[in-house]
Amino acid sequence: MALRDMLHVMVVDDMSTSRGLILQALDSFGIRNVRHSTDGPSALQALTAQPAHLVISDYNMPGMDGLHLLHALRQSPNLKKVGFILITGKAERSIIEAGKKLGMNNFIRKPFEPKDMLTCIEAVVGRL
């Protein structure tokens, strides 16, 4: 069985258009075990109930941004090893460095091309 068939992904983005583009890209890669959430707190609750292998999260979200979600995941004994990719339109050095300190596995800038998303994901989980 291919990795793409076993991989469970959680997409977290408050913007339906952005979320849709990410979901569409994942589908084009053959990744079918995908759940999504519109905010950090509900994603954290869903991941606590049913962990994923990889979280792809927007940075800029109200209430709990992507780095706060990452921090919460790394504090949880059951979720601390989940792969984490941050998506941001503001790839500022301070944001990326903070993400790395918290244990971010990779990041990608918006807007992105599907092939760049694939490269980003494969850098974290291996060849799909």
- Taking the domains of the chain in order of start, what are their residue ranges? 3-125
Helix/strand/coil for 66: helix
Assign 90 a pLDDT band (cuts: 50, 70, 90).
Answer: confident
Q: Where is 59: in which H helix or E strand?
A: none
Which residues, including other chains, have CB under 8 Å from residue 97's CB and lie 6 or more apart?
Answer: none
- What is the reported pTM? 0.97
Write out pLDDT tens, residues 19-30. 999 999 999 999
Determine whether domain 3-125 maps to CATH 3.40.50.2300. Answer: yes
Write out pLDDT tens, residues 29-86. 999 999 999 999 999 999 999 999 999 999 999 989 999 999 999 999 999 999 999 9
Assign 1 a pLDDT band (cuts: 50, 70, 90).
Answer: confident
CA distance 44 to 109: 23
CA distance 112 to 4: 20
